[in-house]
Structure 1
């Protein structure tokens, strides 16, 4: 599996960009998985539901299954958070894993940067950032240091990602 990161501050448009890239990658016959890292506590379950009650009662893992989808919930219960590699190991075989977050990992990463957010760019402190996609022209120094992409051109960004991870545009065999 090839792995490529998307990083940026909250509100920069990472999820919106992924929503534009995913159908383009799927149209090329690629099987793509996404990991979204969050620093916030979250729960996809709801109090009162059986699966929630199972976890509350002490289950370390609960798999919720239907004819449409399934989800495996794992309770860390104080254990350290798994590494990106450990998370990826849980995926079924696929062509590409897009990672939103994990900006400190040594994977090629695209920074989504909007100067209007008033935040500094990430790329100077993160050597794994190989390109910046922005909705504005970038300063000359930045454009000279990294690949500069138009955030409003998802087709060009798709091609950049595929070229970077050396992944062809169409699968020749099912996994």
Structure 2
């Protein structure tokens, strides 16, 4: 599987860019999966639902299945957060995996950047950031795209991964 990341500070436009890239790249006939890192506790389940009750009772894994989708929840229960490569090994094969977050990992990335956040560029100190998508002009030693130019960004990523 080919991997490409989207990184950036909070409110930089990562999720919007991810969403547009998935739409654009799948529209070109490629299969795409995504991985999203969350820095906080999250839940895809709700109190009172059967699967929630299974987890609360102590189940290590709960798999929900229907004719429309499946979801596998794995409770870490104090174990360390799994490394990205371990998570990727659990995905079914696709043409491209887009990864939101995991900015410290070594896979190639594009940085989403919005001037209003006031944050410095990650790319300045990280060679794994191969390009920047920004809402302002940025001078850098690698490609810079308009944050809203999804077609050019998708072209760049697909070239980078050889698709």
Regarding TM over 0.5, the answer is yes
Match of 1:20 in 2: 20
Q: TM-score, normalization: structure 1?
A: 0.91
Equivalent position of 1:150 in the other structure: 146
The aligned residue for residue 45 of structure 2 is: 45
Tell me the residue number matched to 1:31: 31
Deviation at 1:93, TM superposition (A): 0.9
Q: Where in structure 2 are the equivalents of 1:1-175 lying within 5 Å?
A: 1-138=1-138, 140=139, 142=140, 145-167=141-163
Deviations 1:23-62 (A, max 9, x none): 1111111110000001111111111111011111111000
1:65 and 1:71 in contact (8 A); partners too = yes
Cα RMSD (Å) = 0.9
Deviation at 1:89, TM superposition (A): 0.8
Structure 1 residue 127, shift from structure 2 partner: 1.9
Indicate conservation of the 8 Å contact 1:113/1:121, yes or no: yes
Partners of 1:93 and 1:121 in 2: how far apart? Answer: 32
What is the TM-score when the length of structure 2 is the normalising length? 0.97
Unaligned runs of 5+ in 2: none
Unaligned runs of at least 5 residues, structure 1 = 168-175
Moved over 6 A (4+): none
| Alpha-carbon separation, structure 2, partners of 1:78 and 1:147 | 41
Aligned to 1:172: none
